[in-house]
Structure 1
Amino acid sequence: MHAIRAAVRAVRGQVLAAGRAVRRACAGPGRERDLVVQACKAALAAWIAWAVAGWWLEAPMAFVAPWVAIVLVEETVYRSVAHGLQQLAAIATGTIAATAAALLLHDTMLAMAVVLPTVVLLGHWRRLGSQGVYAATGALFVLTGGSIGVTTAAARITEAVFGAVVGIAVNALIRPPLYLRDSRAALRDATEEAHDILRAVADGLAEDRWDAGEAGTWHERALRLRRLVDDSRVALGRSRESLRVNLRRRTVAPGKDYDDAVLVLDYAAVHTAGVTRTVLEAANHSTARPHPHLSHNYAEFLRQTAHALHLYGHSRFGDRSDRELRQAVDELHRMLDALRRSLTRSRPHHPDEVATYGTLLAQAHRLAAQLVTPSSDPAPTAAPATAREG
């Protein structure tokens, strides 16, 4: 009974999530609307390919055209072209190999035993990429599709070529996808999460709340932050790829400032995880707890670090100026010097206490070192304007 209730809750959660996604797609531009547009384009490509090959021309292998067309309406136009070429090469190889084996051996089962291991191995060839599986698919279509001959094989390859042309053309000519908005959103999400984690840890240290459960939650969030940074890196690569072979391209690709932001967030994720791990170990009594006065000073430093990260995100991708960020980073380094002096004056009574605070201080130094002032780099101006169009 408990399992049934859990399943019902899971289904209800999925339905609610789907409803929220639909509302976001209807509300305005975003990832959800992009997915809807791409799905409609894929369906249109398949319909056009079938209408021409199956209904109008009545081609013998008409089903191949819509099948290839629908899978080649990909996330980016460049990927459609690259995967289209790979897929056609794989289909042609599998089709030719299966046809030749069947005609030479005069036995479909024997031909299947000979050809399939070869084409499956060929599917792992690096030059075919993720499309290598279509070599085996093409061979199976030949060996299980009835009549086998040179004419039939030529028809399959011709229909595949036509479907690829339709899929690529639809993706390239009808609202070709751009993902600049996704890069900025992913970077903002990672920056704000880093800010929130550091603020939460700072509040806990300031109030002397070193509860193991709460410290464990902070550390889990810090570990998830690394995945958000990885998502940002993937989104940035997809943004740049979406501008290649794209007729909608009206701006430059994301510049070095985006790469710098990912690098800063990467370091922030690593050292935030280091801070939360040290706090968790102290909460679990694996290491000594530093003196409350030292903890309070460290909490103030974390608050300033969180503030600097927040300003960094707005300076790079928002409406704040570099001047505020420079002031925040200068203050951060002053607070770091004060932390070093407070450790020298405090003379902790236990060596483990010195080790704990020294570890926290090392992470603080590394965090501050990464929040460099971006005044020497040009601010991103062109990309945000176009990001709203994607």
Structure 2
Amino acid sequence: MGQAGQWCRRALLSAGSERDALLLIGKSTLAATLAWMVSFYALDARSPAFAPFSAVLIMYVTVYQSVTQSLRYVGAVALGVTVQAALGFLAGPDLLTFVLVAAIALSIGRSRVLGVQGPQVATAAFFAFSTYSSATDDTTRITQLGQIVLLVLIGCAIGTAVNVTIAPPMRYRSAEYSVRTLARALHDLTADMHPALREGAPDADTTARWRERAALTGSLIDQARAGLNTAEESVHYNPRRLLRRHRNHLTFQGFETVLNALERTLYQLASLTRSLDQWQEEENDYHYRDFLDCYAAFLEAICGFARTLSTLDEAALPEQAERLAGLADDARARRREVAAEAEAQSLPLADSARPYGVLVVEATRLMEEVQHTSDTLHTWIEA
């Protein structure tokens, strides 16, 4: 009970997954109740549960999904009922007919057009077969089969209407959260790396931990992309998009460009950690302390850039873009120092057994992505 109370308080007092879940439960309850009232009281339907079931089934996280999935669901149900009706009236309600209905409905359900609603073809066909078998005459059978499709239409219409008119889900800020998530991952890893490199020689356990953490960012990238896709999708057919006209600094294309740059940056950082870890196994002594000091300063600059980007807020984007531009300039200066130090010490950059060449190359690539991110933000602000 204590945990349930904490969950409810979070849902009521602050925005987040708990509030989203509570809102979805409330809207689904309302849609199911309205659909039941129409089907049971107004239509006196034989199987009124089809309507509330349909209303809840298409209550998706975005209005776009509610609309598209409701159309697919209605189509799937109509196909299932049609298959059963055609075979039922031709062959009668016997076992062989059921086998044919099942085989055809399941085959149609594999169509890519229906997507996740494909299995509903067979489900509708089975319910329709049961209804057809229990009816006493052809007129009753036609009426009841048609009523199944009608109830599904009513449920989908009510569910979609409730989702559109009552606090339609707007996940625009998911795009910001996606960028923040990857920027935070970049910040956290570089924040661990630059102090250790400045001290001289991270041990094998440290480099192995860096490599493992860098490898785990792949799942974060997938989650960030899913968040961006949800945010973009939530705008379609959503009346709340009209309220965002005054906030148009960064479009979804801009968010995607920044996300792509962060993704490449994390992959490059993963390559860097692999090189350090593999080299650590072969050579335990860092001979070029000054170079590593310069590289630590460069990673520290990248860390500062990532820290600011991890607080991305479209409302404050102009000010943040200026700050990020200054941090990018600082990172560029540190990158030049890395290259100059490597040249001054005549480092064995071509030696694949040592990481210096990879460090210099990855510093250049990281700098390119940081600069690209900064330029993207400025471009979309000025557009």
**Structure-2 change in CA distance of 1:315 and 1:380 (3 Å):** farther
Shift of residue 173, structure 1, vs aligned partner: 0.9
1:39-118 mapped onto 2 (5 Å cutoff): 39-118=25-104
**Structure-2 change in CA distance of 1:18 and 1:345 (3 Å):** farther
Name the residue aligned to 2:219. Answer: 227
Instruction: Say if 1:289 and 1:356, in contact at 8 Å, map to a contact too.
Output: no
Question: Which range is displaced more, 332-341 or 80-89?
Answer: 332-341
Name the residue aligned to 1:309. Answer: 306
Q: Secondary structure at the match of 2:44?
A: coil
For 1:277 and 1:150, the matched residues in 2 are separated by 68
For 2:157 and 2:283, the matched residues in 1 are separated by 63
Q: Of 227, 231, 251, which aligns to 2:244?
A: 251
Shift of residue 368, structure 1, vs aligned partner: 0.2
Name the residue aligned to 1:261. Answer: 258
Name the residue aligned to 1:371. Answer: 370
Instruction: Say if 1:288 and 1:353, in contact at 8 Å, map to a contact too.
Output: no
For 1:16 and 1:226, the matched residues in 2 are separated by 36
Instruction: Say if 2:298 and 2:331, in contact at 8 Å, map to a contact too.
Output: yes
Q: Secondary structure at the match of 1:126?
A: coil
Shift of residue 184, structure 1, vs aligned partner: 1.4
CA deviations 1:170-209 (Å, max 9, x no partner) are 1111111101122212321221221111111112212235
Name the residue aligned to 1:155. Answer: 147
- Confirm whether residue 171 of structure 1 aligns to residue 163 of structure 2: yes
Name the residue aligned to 2:335. Answer: 336
Amino acid at match of 2:224: S
For 2:119 and 2:283, the matched residues in 1 are separated by 51
**Structure-2 change in CA distance of 1:18 and 1:341 (3 Å):** farther
Name the residue aligned to 1:295. Answer: 292
In structure 2, the gaps of 5 or more residues are 136-140
Question: Which range is displaced more, 29-38 or 316-325?
Answer: 316-325
How high is the TM-score relative to the length of structure 2?
0.86
**Structure-2 change in CA distance of 1:247 and 1:323 (3 Å):** closer
For 1:194 and 1:67, the matched residues in 2 are separated by 44
For 1:204 and 1:30, the matched residues in 2 are separated by 36
Shift of residue 313, structure 1, vs aligned partner: 4.5
Shift of residue 40, structure 1, vs aligned partner: 1.5
Q: Of 4, 8, 20, which aligns to 1:34?
A: 20
Instruction: Say if 2:176 and 2:313, in contact at 8 Å, map to a contact too.
Output: no
For 1:20 and 1:196, the matched residues in 2 are separated by 30
For 1:221 and 1:16, the matched residues in 2 are separated by 35
**Structure-2 change in CA distance of 1:91 and 1:242 (3 Å):** same
Question: Which range is displaced more, 100-109 or 72-81?
Answer: 100-109
For 1:78 and 1:182, the matched residues in 2 are separated by 16
For 2:127 and 2:382, the matched residues in 1 are separated by 51
Amino acid at match of 1:81: V
Q: Secondary structure at the match of 1:74?
A: coil
- Confirm whether residue 143 of structure 1 aligns to residue 129 of structure 2: yes
For 1:48 and 1:215, the matched residues in 2 are separated by 60
Instruction: Say if 1:348 and 1:354, in contact at 8 Å, map to a contact too.
Output: no
For 1:353 and 1:137, the matched residues in 2 are separated by 60
Name the residue aligned to 1:193. Answer: 185
**Structure-2 change in CA distance of 1:288 and 1:357 (3 Å):** farther
**Structure-2 change in CA distance of 1:20 and 1:336 (3 Å):** farther
For 2:332 and 2:167, the matched residues in 1 are separated by 48
Give the count of matched residue pairs.
367
Instruction: Say if 1:315 and 1:325, in contact at 8 Å, map to a contact too.
Output: no
Question: Which range is displaced more, 57-66 or 319-328?
Answer: 319-328
Instruction: Say if 1:287 and 1:352, in contact at 8 Å, map to a contact too.
Output: no
Amino acid at match of 1:377: T
Instruction: Say if 1:108 and 1:143, in contact at 8 Å, map to a contact too.
Output: no
Instruction: Say if 1:288 and 1:352, in contact at 8 Å, map to a contact too.
Output: no
Q: Give the % identical residues.
A: 25
Shift of residue 353, structure 1, vs aligned partner: 7.3
CA deviations 1:152-185 (Å, max 9, x no partner) are 2101111111111111111111111101122212
For 2:52 and 2:287, the matched residues in 1 are separated by 67
How high is the TM-score relative to the length of structure 1?
0.85
Name the residue aligned to 1:271. Answer: 268
Q: Of 212, 215, 218, which aligns to 2:207?
A: 215
Instruction: Say if 2:59 and 2:159, in contact at 8 Å, map to a contact too.
Output: yes
Shift of residue 303, structure 1, vs aligned partner: 0.7
